[in-house]
């Protein structure tokens, strides 16, 4: 190739290059803008609560000032206590005392009732002494009480994110594990990822051969199978879960069948067990793994396989070297969808899983709806989002499994 530059041509290629990278971006722009507006903004705003919690700082302006003047750690001196009582009195009058008590209770279990008692006392006796205050609220006589208040006065907090990993700031200012009786989340995250992996593998084992057969039978039969695959979509997940209850329960259809066939001699417990949960989740997820695989398999040219075979390739070699690489994007797409959807399950685990089969979304939903602790829900969601995206990026980077780069 000669390296003579022809100005006109170079300029034209340059222009094409730019439009080449602008055009794909323009195609994606409408969805990106829609997502930024109707998903990105709301979620960023909500997830920011994981690190931003201003209630304590807003309630305790005088205490913060007094703490600044009070040097040293641990239980502070008389002026801080007096400022604290004054802040509580103001909060009582302003009607924000309950919210403050609840927020502090999250960081300092048992603080709620003591703070409320103290607020009533501060209302009656404005000149309450340190001694009287500690008597009403014993937690304020302890180092851990003031450690919680001091950390709470900072509007930006790492408390919730640390809690999501079962960690906390110790009284000594280091990061340590929470007591094992309260440690839940690392175990639940592990369980969630484990169940999602098992279900994904199970759907793949079921869906791949079926999709393969569907591409190799007469169109009429393939059509009927496709209808059967799509039928579940018309049935609410609640109905499908209820149906699995009917099948799996002790006096249910499956146990009846197994007994009748003589496979088992006694009724087996499938409800409220992990096995039952995985059976039901695999069923619900099967179409999500199957359809992407099927749609990619349909595009494979049979002539290529025949060519490979006629060139002497053994069936397995042809399958591995020619067929599999072509359908891999479909497999990845299907597995990715199923894996991610499994992370978000929470109705099915409630109705079919046992107490130790609850997934992370059950806990997040509980924090949102029941405990009204949106900060903790935001922190757990952030950890889930970050770890899933991290997993995705790692997979694409080190295993070369990019959905959009194959073929």
Partner 1 sequence: MLSPYPTTAERIRVAALWIWCVLVLIYLVVPIFVPVPLSFNSGSFFTFPLAGVSTRWYEVVLGTARWRAAIGNSLLIGLGATVLATLLGTLTAIGLSDPKFPARRFVVPLLISPLIVPVVVTAVGTYLFYARIGLANTYFGIILAHTVLASPFVVVTVGASLSGFDRNLMRATSILGAKPLTGFLRVMLPMILPGVLSGAAFAFVTSFDEVVVAQFLANAQQRTLPLEMFTGLREQLSPAITAAATLMMGLSILLLIVANLLARRSRQAGAPAE
Partner 2 sequence: MKLIYRTTLLALLPALASAGIMSQIRSAAAAELTVMATGGEWQAALRKAWFEPFAKKMGITFNEQEYTGELGKIKAMVETGNVPIDLVTVETSTVLQGCDAGVLIRLDYSKVADRSRFLPGTALDCGVGIDVYGDVLAYDTTVLKEAPTSVLDIFDTKKFPGKRAMRKAPAQNLEWALMADGVPIADVYKVLATPEGVDRAFKKLDTIKKDIVWWEAGAQPPQLLASKEVVMTTAWNGRIQNAIDKDKRPFAIVWDNQIVEYDMIAIPKGAKNLDLAYKYLAYAAEPEVSAQLGRHIPYGPVMADATPFVPKDVLSKLPTAPDHMKAYLVGDVEFWGDQGEDLVKRFNAWLAQ
Candidate list 13, 20, 138, 175; residue touching partner 1; CB under 8 A = 20
Closer to partner 2 by Cβ: residue 90 or 350: 350
Q: Which two tokens stand for residue 12?
A: 């034209």
Site membership for partner 1, residue 372 (CB under 8 A) = no
In this structure, are residues 288 and 203 in contact, taking their beta carbons and an 8 Å threshold? yes
Q: Which two tokens stand for residue 336?
A: 């990715």
Closer to partner 1 by Cβ: residue 81 or 189: 189
Site membership for partner 1, residue 292 (CB under 8 A) = yes
Candidate list 246, 314, 324, 371; residue touching partner 1; CB under 8 A = 246
Closer to partner 2 by Cβ: residue 141 or 313: 141
Which one of 21-29, 73-81, 99-107, 139-147 is the stretch in contact with partner 1 (CB under 8 A)?
A: 21-29
Distance CA 46, CA 242 (A): 33
Residue 222 interface partner, choices partner 1, partner 2, none, CB cut-off 5-8 Å depending on type: partner 2
Site membership for partner 1, residue 271 (CB under 8 A) = no
Strand pairing report for 175-177 and 167-169: antiparallel
Q: How many CA atoms lie within 13 A of 185 on its CB side?
A: 22
Residue 209 interface partner, choices partner 1, partner 2, none, CB cut-off 5-8 Å depending on type: partner 1
DSSP for 57-98 reads HHH-HHHHHHHHHS-SSSS--HHHHHHHHHHHHHHHHHT-HH
Site membership for partner 1, residue 272 (CB under 8 A) = no
Candidate list 129, 197, 235, 394; residue touching partner 1; CB under 8 A = 235
Binding mask 107-146 for partner 1 (x = CB under 8 A): ----------------------------------------
Residue 6 interface partner, choices partner 2, partner 1, none, CB cut-off 5-8 Å depending on type: none
Candidate list 14, 209, 307, 320; residue touching partner 1; CB under 8 A = 209
Instruction: State the residue for tokens 């930024």.
Output: 36
CB of 312 vs partner 2, minimal distance in Å: 31
Closer to partner 2 by Cβ: residue 184 or 341: 184
Encode burial over 267-305: b for 16+ CB neighbours within 10 A, e otherwise: ebebbbbbebbbbbbbbbbbbbbbbbbbebbeeeeeeeb
Closer to partner 1 by Cβ: residue 183 or 225: 225
Candidate list 1, 9, 25, 263; residue touching partner 1; CB under 8 A = 25
Which one of 108-116, 126-134, 171-179, 206-214 is the stretch in contact with partner 1 (CB under 8 A)?
A: 206-214
C-alpha closest to that of 306 among 329, 323, 327: 323
Closer to partner 1 by Cβ: residue 70 or 375: 375
To the nearest 10 degrees (0 to 180), the angle between helices 185-214 and 374-398 is 50
Instruction: Classify 166 in phi/psi space as left (phi over 0), alpha (psi -120 to 50) or beta.
Output: left
Residue 276 interface partner, choices partner 2, partner 1, none, CB cut-off 5-8 Å depending on type: none
Closer to partner 2 by Cβ: residue 36 or 221: 221
Q: Which residues bind partner 2 (CB under 8 A)?
A: 95-96, 98-99, 101-102, 105-106, 109-110, 112-113, 181-184, 187-188, 219, 222-223, 226-227, 230, 233-234, 245-246, 249-252, 271-272, 294-295, 298, 350, 354-356, 358, 363, 366, 368-372, 374
List of residues 6+ apart from 183 with CB closer than 8 A: 166, 177
Site membership for partner 1, residue 317 (CB under 8 A) = no
CB of 125 vs partner 1, minimal distance in Å: 40
Residue 243 interface partner, choices partner 1, partner 2, none, CB cut-off 5-8 Å depending on type: partner 1
Residue 326 interface partner, choices partner 1, partner 2, none, CB cut-off 5-8 Å depending on type: partner 1
Distance CA 236, CA 245 (A): 14
Q: What's the per-residue H, E or C state across 128-190? A: CCHHHHHHHCHHHHCHHHHHHHHHHCCCECCHHHHHHCCEEECCCCCEEECCCCCCCHHHHHH
Distance CA 276, CA 273 (A): 5
Q: Which two tokens stand for residue 393?
A: 């990026």
């Amino acid at each position: 190739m000669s390296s003579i530059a022809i100005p006109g041509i170079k300029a034209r290629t340059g222009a094409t290059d730019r439009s080449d990278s602008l055009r794909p971006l323009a195609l994606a722009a409408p969805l990106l803008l829609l997502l930024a507006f109707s998903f990105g903004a709301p979620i960023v705003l909500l997830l920011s609560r994981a690190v931003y919690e201003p209630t304590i700082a807003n309630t305790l302006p005088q205490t913060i000032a007094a703490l600044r003047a009070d040097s040293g750690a641990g239980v502070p001196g008389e002026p801080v206590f007096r400022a604290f009582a004054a802040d509580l009195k103001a909060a009582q009058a302003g009607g924000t005392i309950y919210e403050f008590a609840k927020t502090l209770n999250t960081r300092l279990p048992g603080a709620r009732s003591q703070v409320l008692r103290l607020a009533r006392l501060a209302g009656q006796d404005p000149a309450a002494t340190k001694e009287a205050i500690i008597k009403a609220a014993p937690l304020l006589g302890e180092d851990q009480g003031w450690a919680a208040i001091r950390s709470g006065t900072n509007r930006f907090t790492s408390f919730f994110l640390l809690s999501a990993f079962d960690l906390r700031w110790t009284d000594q200012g280091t990061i340590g594990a929470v007591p094992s009786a309260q440690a839940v989340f690392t175990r639940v995250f592990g369980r969630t990822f484990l169940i999602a992996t098992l279900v994904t593998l199970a759907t793949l084992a079921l869906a791949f051969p079926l999709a393969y057969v569907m591409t190799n039978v007469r169109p009429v039969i393939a059509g009927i199978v496709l209808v059967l695959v799509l039928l579940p979509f018309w049935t609410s997940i609640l109905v499908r879960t209820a149906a699995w209850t009917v099948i799996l329960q002790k006096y249910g259809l499956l146990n009846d069948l197994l007994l009748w066939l003589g496979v088992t001699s006694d009724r087996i417990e499938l409800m409220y067990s992990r096995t039952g949960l995985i059976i039901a989740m695999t069923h619900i997820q099967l179409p999500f793994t199957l359809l992407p695989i099927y749609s990619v398999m349909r595009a494979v040219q049979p002539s290529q396989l025949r060519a490979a075979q006629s060139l002497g390739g053994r069936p397995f070699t042809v399958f591995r070297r020619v067929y599999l690489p072509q359908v891999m994007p479909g497999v990845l797409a299907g597995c990715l969808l199923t894996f991610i959807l499994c992370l978000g399950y929470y109705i099915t685990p409630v109705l079919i899983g046992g107490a130790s089969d609850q997934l992370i979304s059950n806990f997040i939903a509980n924090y949102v709806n029941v405990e009204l602790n949106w900060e903790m829900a935001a922190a757990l969601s952030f950890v889930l989002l970050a770890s899933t995206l991290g997993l995705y990026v790692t997979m694409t980077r080190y295993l070369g499994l990019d959905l959009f780069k194959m073929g």
